[in-house]
Amino acid sequence: MATNPMHQFEVYRMGPEINLGGINLSFTNASFFMLVSALLVLSLLFFGTKKKSLVPSKIQLITEMSYTFVAKMINDTAGSSARSYFPFIFTLFMFVLFSNMIGMLPYSFTVTSHIIVTFALAAIVFIGVTIIGFMKHGIKYLELFVPKGVPVVLLPLIVIIEIISYLSRPVSLSVRLFANMMAGHTMLKVFGGFVISLGLLGGWLPLGFSVALTGLEILVAFLQAYVFAILTCIYLNDALNLHH
């Protein structure tokens, strides 16, 4: 059981079973770790902004760095008109980052290694960006699907292609995060299993690989949160400034 590399992704119930109208709403380990990462982000921001000293303490430094990091990212990719969406993108980035990083701790559960979680996040972004685009430009937002300077004969085909390319955004956004996290954690577990099965004689090589892969996974955990946030900024930019 312990050597099964997929065992770590199992969702199980914690506490009593809750059934609401045929929908299973029980509290699971996935909900628990989502709660933990949300609480960690909250407490980091709470304690980081409590004492505003000129020479920052470590926790204040981390808070200020994450703030400027996201603010700079929004400014660079979506322009100053996207400033008002900073709270949303900051929340998204910090939640994904903390979920990924908590998953790197032994005996924990990686929330983002389940496609339903990442797809829900991507769907929020997709629907939100579409609503923002329609609110800002009205029916003219549909011009996004009609590139300029295309001959009329090709237009129906191009519009279909553009629509598919637009619809593929949430899929690529969610699959990227989920596949990266799941593949990485499975690989770590497989190499960990090699260490046990090869024993004291041959286990040293996979052990080294395990250490190296852990480093790589921490890099991937940060990078995927960053990519998720930056793509949200790019989509927001498309919705806010129609002709780019």
Partner 1 sequence: MKKLKEISTRLEIAKKKNKNNEQKNDGSNAASFGKAMKISTELVASVGVGTTIGFILDDWFDTKPLLIISFFFIGTVAGILNVFKSAKRMHKKQKN
Q: Which residues bind partner 1 (CB under 8 A)?
A: 55, 157, 160-162, 164-165, 167-168, 171-172, 175-176, 179-180, 219, 223-224, 226-227, 231, 234
Sign of CA dihedral 27, 31, 37, 41: negative
- Burial category of 191 from C-beta neighbours within 10 Å (exposed 0-12, middle 13-18, buried 19 and up): buried
Closest-CA residue to 240 (of 85, 97, 108, 124): 85
Q: What is the DSSP letter of 8?
A: G
Say which DSSP state 15 is in.
S
C-beta closer to partner 1: residue 39 or 223? 223
Residue 34 vs 233, nearer CB to partner 1: 233
Shortest Å distance, C-beta 242 to partner 1: 15
3-state secondary structure of 19: strand
- Dist CA 136 CA 148 (whole Å): 20
**Closest CB to partner 1 among 59 and 179?**
179
How far apart are CB 197 and partner 1 at their closest, in Å?
30
Tell me whether strands 19-20 and 23-24 are parallel, antiparallel or unpaired: antiparallel
Residue 114 CB, nearest distance to partner 1 (Å)?
17
Instruction: Please state the closest distance from residue 210 (CB atom) to partner 1, in A.
Output: 20
Q: Which is nearer to partner 1, 79 or 193 (CB)?
A: 79
Instruction: Give min distance, CB of 144 to partner 1, in A.
Output: 12
Q: Which is nearer to partner 1, 142 or 223 (CB)?
A: 223
Backbone angles phi, psi at 28, to 5 degrees: -110, 175
